[in-house]
Structure 1
Amino acid sequence: MERMLLVGPGGAGKTEKLWQRYSSLARKGRTDSILVLLWNARDVRDWRERVDFPWAGPLHVYTYFGWVQREIRRCWPRLDPWGEMWLEPEFLTVETGQFAMLRHIQTRQADFAGLVTSPERLAIQLGSCLVLASLNGIAFSEIGSRLAAAMPDKDPNVYKSAQQVLDSYIAGAEKSGTLDYGLAVALYRQLLAEPWYRQELRQFKHLLADDVDEQSPAAHDLIAAMLEHVESAVMTFSTDGGHAGFFGADAQGAWQRFGAIGKIVPVRSQQQLGAGRAVYSSILSGNVPVLPRRRPQIELIHEDLRSELLDRVGERVVRLLAQGVPASEIAVIAPLADKVLEHTLAFHLKEAGVSLNVLTKNRRLIDEPYVRAMMTLALLAHPQWQLDWGVPDLAQSLQLLLKLDPVRAWLLSRQVLDCNLPALELWQRERVGFRAAQGYDLLRQWLDSYRQGPEQPIDLFFQRVFGELLSRLPPARDDLVVCRQLLVSAHKFIKTTGRINLGTSPGAAFIRMLSAGTVAAESLLEPANREHAVILTTPYAYISGHLRSTVQVWMDCTSRRWFQQDVREL
């Protein structure tokens, strides 16, 4: 049985060697006997896009959680008691799981009155506790007692209440056949312990696992189970990895568990050709290999005003492009990649004909102007929800949807009273202009027509808004991408409400969830020419993505956000 460990720094070519191994195995046999475990969805997408063989079977290329979902669906009828009550599982998105957790917290909100943390943040923290417990094989019933033991200075009753919230949430999920990330991982770990399931895993003859140091102990258990029978296994370890510990990864445990199972092959980047001795010496000492780095050239940009600083950075990046530096070799790294920074960089790059590829872990749909505009339309169309939309949001929405300047958009927004758009008088039409008045009339007529019928599911409402209204006001490509993500999120939310009671009006509940900023936009499509785009990212997203670039621009170096901020009350 062949076992190989590819060890080297990020960007050295370990994943490429793993792909070459996959290509060789696939051309000799079939892809359905090869299991590939990658770290994130972007890697899975890129891997699948590269597959172009004369013949191939099914592709088994997954992240760990993607594999968990696939296997739970496949084995669902044999999973008791879940499979006995429901024909198929319903996997909750992170946002829907947090929203469901919030409803259980609200029934015991008085128990958490002594905490500074908001109920929304508390739901995120308890959901994170479930995930970390499942990834590390800790019983859910022990979460409260473990938290209390770790923080003995705090009121133990808070942790008892937290445990009761978790128990209630888990019982509700089991009753409704819904699984969030933590519950799905826990269920799969039970499945992995079944002898009949271990036997079914023997269909795979080869295992390829990338970034094992960034994987969780639960993923390591799967790898260990596969190593019991596969003919060959190749795994990669990053010498500068281990950055996903906050999300449950165990880099040190991975090396201790698999570091001695086979042949170690150092993979050196071209910039570090002389680092082989450091790799071997660290391996012989039993430690995770560490490679030395060369010192970079440093240039300082300082301005008193942030607006001037952003312009200076944009101009400097454009000069680098003019000097022949490839766009993909430039990364702007900021502790907070806010919309002002993104807009300023995109403005300067547009003049140079270059795109901006935003890679962050904390993008929210509500931060997208087009989403806020569609939310405002939903609130105007459903006054019975009694949710406040606000004049500024309406003005921005009219400006975006009707392609107006800020002054005309503000004038039109002032006409709206109690979600009603009255007809414009002649003097008002003359003041805002014919084109603006025509767009306003179109919006008013559409809303009046919609209100005459019954309330529709929020996902269908957004489809109608796009198909019947916004298609007449052609949106830009980025707006189309955002709209698609909003439709997908709304559809998943409505599908979940068929099993979980999230309130009398699912549409209003979805808007509240959007307003809380919990719906992520991480799956937004990247630029079509992302290989020729400048990167804007955060430190964690850059490091954890194993990105490498010739030029790095570190923004806001005096900001405290550069320091790790993972303080939690629970």
Structure 2
Amino acid sequence: MTDVLVELTPAQEAAIAAEQTSFLLGSAGTGKTFALQQRLLRLLQAGEPAYTLLVIVAEPDQAQGYLDAVHQSGLGSYADLKISTYNQMAMEMVKLFWPLVARSAGFERPYHPPTFLSYDLAQLLMWHIITPMLNEGAFADLRLRPQQIVSQLLDTLNRAALNSLSLGDAIERQVRTWAGEPERIRHLNEAADAARQFRATCLRDSLLDLSLAIEVFDTQVVQHPEFHKYFSERFRHLIVDNIEEQTPAGQNFVVELMDETVTTAVAYDAAGGYKRFLAADPLGANTFRSLSAYAFDFKESFITSTPLTHLANLVENQLMFTNKPFAEAQTAVLGTVGGRYRREMVIQLAEALVEMMAEHDLHSSEIAIIAPYLDGALRYMLGNALRDAGLPYYLLRRRSSPRDEPRVRAWLTWLALAHPDWGLPPSRYDMAEALTLSIHGLDPARAELLAEWLYQPETAHLLPISELPERIESRIGMDFVGLYEEIRLWLAGQDGSDSIDLFLHSLFTLLSERRFQPEPDVAGAAVCDWLVQAATRLRQSAEAIGLATPAAVGYAFIDGINQGLVTANPPELGDPPDPNGIMISTIYGYLLAGSPVRVQVWLETAATGWWDIPNQPLSNAFVLAQSYDPGQPWTMDNDFQIRNQLLSRIVRGLTARCSDGILLATSDLDRRGVRQDGPLWRALQAVR
């Protein structure tokens, strides 16, 4: 392709034009993805039908860059262009080839169409399985909330499949490699029982969670001759971005296809592999260099600078005992802000950003605030401080627990009150919170009075306003009392025949009227939309996962959210996100989906959260990696080494996505009042 408006490097030009199989290696910001996008355009310009092209990306969000490139090129129709993640393709192909593989995969009713379980539905099914186990004393003395047990059990299933391990092999690895207290073996065996029950339920009822879909695709579909006929007659060119973020199952899939395509191009981020907790295998991805006819090294960064590279070297030297140049690291640090408490840190940060933007002609969209965690209190403080400073912002979120959002709790409160037979009576606190969020201008104190006098939590019964003493009514205000009564009468008029999604839609219609909310309730609409979609998915899959009555569906819906089950598609809260605002993200959220920026803020730099790995006693991601020797126990030394290695990669990845420098922001004390002095803070001692 010759009409590209930017000057290409020799490595990019060669990679764009390469025939057969090619391997693109380089750090983030060296132009690998751009080269793959231009390669795609070159194929289309040469007359290759979009129908014959397959692009595999590591994250769904990464597809947009390829679509934008094709759209802006003006090359014509590309509706048939296939851009997918490995997991998405596995789901689609299992559905397409179901009649050919269901019986051999072990499903008891292969003639029964499959039901695909989203992550939230898989959690509900696992919750249904472990509840009787918990009641009988399983997982006793394990310091985990029930929701954490559910997520770790699903993690084990998913990691087994994504590492091309059988469930039995994965369970055996967990037990054989455990080198700690013997009591944990009992917990691992209980986890194995739950995982086997979950898998047996799926095979009996034709349910496909992510783990089973991947296993069926990896062991059945990809090995079937009809699949290879289908693939070779449709796809002629394969493009794979971020192969280091692919799992062994995904990498095996690409290897299987390389011999069947006319051309294959694979890109590898040299410092990547951030999805190791999700079974990514950066070590296994190295083999693609030897499997490819051509290899191209991308060494020139379009983003970062020598001082930032030296800053990454400094941290790596401290953590991994290397000896890389770091003389210019000091100039990569733009400053340090802080305070004794988090609130002081956040206020100083907002002031520093305003000053920096004015001095350096910096736009808000050129700044990213990156933190190891974003709890509700920190999000609240950041949001207030940035708004007070007049700085637009948006949250880049991947997973969240809907229970943490007050509006979600409010909607569930009204749902439970309309269905007292479900046996989930809200507390008085829940009732007061729901009133505050549903009636504009009603403050928590008066809402609490209404809940105290007119709500009976034992029976989930709302009393009429005739029961309210006149002195209390005058304290609350007649207008607010009247709106309460309108909600009570509306709830009393519900006969329970509507499905949850229809009920929630009708409730939103009522509460969005001007007497309840004078201004459009954008956040309420987003929460309602998310709840309606979640309820619809549950209703459509209820029978398949064993929820036979409306009451059982309702109970599972409310109880699942209240127990803290998480969602991969959290609702948008507050005002619509401003894409031109400051990005606020967790570390891995930014590394996997964030755009390069001029300035990064490393928030809570002294926190151990930068160095921590998830506490997962029931699912060790590193032991379940296909490349790990199951004959070797997992020791404290392994744990210490992997933490240092991951932090080194994190810093390398962050600095590769930054051009001007880093602003360090930290507080002396963490949210619990404990003094902070984490490994990253110590590694940066020479430059802070």
Same fold, judged at TM 0.5 (above): yes
More moved, 54-63 vs 347-356: 347-356
Q: Answer whether contact 1:2 1:233 (CA < 8 A) is retained.
A: yes
Give 1:199's aligned amino acid: K
Distance in 2 (CA, whole Å) between partners of 1:50 and 1:525 is 27
Any conservation in 2 of the 1:7–1:237 contact (CA below 8 Å)? Answer: yes
Aligned pair 1:144/2:165, yes or no?
A: no
* Equivalent position of 2:488 in the other structure: 444
Name the amino acid aligned to 1:382. Answer: H
Distance 1:454 1:479, change over 3 A: closer
- Is the partner of 2:336 in helix, strand or coil? coil
The Cα of 1:338 is off from its aligned counterpart by 2.2
Post-superposition offset of 1:247: 1.0
**Aligned: 1:406 with 2:406:** no
Q: Distance in 1 between matches of 2:473 and 2:341?
A: 40
Confirm or deny that 1:79 pairs with 2:105. Answer: no
1:514 to 552, 561, 579: 561
**1: CA distance between counterparts of 2:70 and 2:386?**
33
User: 1: distance between equivalents of 2:587 and 2:333?
Assistant: 19
Unaligned runs of 5+ in 2: 1-18, 311-322, 619-688
TM-score, structure 1 normalization? 0.89
**Structure 1: runs of 5 or more not aligned:** 279-289
Cα distance in 1 between the residues matched to 2:387 and 2:306:
40
Match of 2:114 among 89, 98, 114: 89
Give 1:320's aligned residue. Answer: 356
User: What is the aligned counterpart of 2:602 among 521, 529, 554?
Assistant: 554
**1:37-436, aligned counterparts within 5 Å?**
37-48=56-67, 51-52=70-71, 53-81=75-103, 82=107, 85=110, 87-109=112-134, 110-113=137-140, 115-151=142-178, 154=182, 156-189=185-218, 190-202=220-232, 203-259=234-290, 261=292, 262-266=294-298, 268-271=300-303, 295=329, 296-323=332-359, 324-350=361-387, 354-403=391-440, 404-418=442-456, 419-424=460-465, 425=468, 427-436=471-480
How far apart are the structure 2 equivalents of 1:427 and 1:243? 61
Which position in structure 1 is the counterpart of 2:539? Answer: 494
**Offset from partner CA, 1:311-342 (integer Å, 9 cap, x none):** 22223233334443121221112222123332
Q: Give how far 1:160 is off.
A: 4.0
- Matched position secondary structure for 2:455: coil
Report the counterpart of residue 675 of structure 2 in structure 1. none
Distance in 1, Cα, partners of 2:482 & 2:65: 45
AA of the residue aligned to 2:447: A
How far, CA to CA, are the matches of 1:405 and 1:94 in structure 2?
36
| Residue 569 (structure 1) shift | 2.5
Q: Normalization by structure 2: what TM-score? A: 0.75
Tell me by how many angstroms 1:147 deviates. 1.7
Q: Deviations over 1:248-269 (max 9, x none)?
A: 0110110123455123141532
Could you tell me which residue of structure 2 aligns to residue 476 of structure 1?
521
Q: Distance in 2 between matches of 1:521 and 1:154?
A: 34
Structure 1 counterpart SS, 2:347: helix
Q: Does 1:16 align with 2:63?
A: no
The alpha-carbon distance between structure 1 residues 120 and 274, as it changes in their structure 2 partners (threshold 3 A), is closer
Q: 1:415 and 1:14, CA in 2 relative to 1: closer, same or farther beyond 3 A?
A: farther
Change (3 A) 1:118 1:351: closer
Rate the CA distance shift 1:529–1:518 in 2: closer, same or farther, 3 A. Answer: closer
1:2 counterpart = 2:34: no
**Segment of structure 1 superposing worse, 76-85 or 558-567:** 76-85
Task: Give the secondary structure class of the aligned counterpart of 2:274.
Answer: coil
1:352 to partner: Cα distance: 5.8
Quote how far apart the aligned CAs of 1:16 are.
2.5
Aligned-residue RMSD, C-alpha: 2.9
1: distance between equivalents of 2:30 and 2:521? 38
Question: Residues 499 and 438 of structure 1: is their aligned pair in 2 closer, same or farther, counting only changes over 3 Å?
Answer: same
- Give the AA of the match of 1:411: L
Task: Letter of the 1:367 partner, please give it.
Answer: D
Q: 1:307 to 1:112 in 2, by over 3 A?
A: closer
Q: 1:316 to 1:363 in 2, by over 3 A?
A: farther
Work out the CA distance in 2 between the residues paired with 1:505 and 1:215. 38
| Residues 198, 225 of structure 1: 8 Å contact kept | no
Contact 2:62 2:593 in 1 (8 A): no
Q: CA separation in 2, counterparts of 1:389 and 1:319? A: 47
CA shift, 1:362, in A, is 3.8
1:532 is paired with a residue whose SS is coil
Letter in 2 for 1:18: L
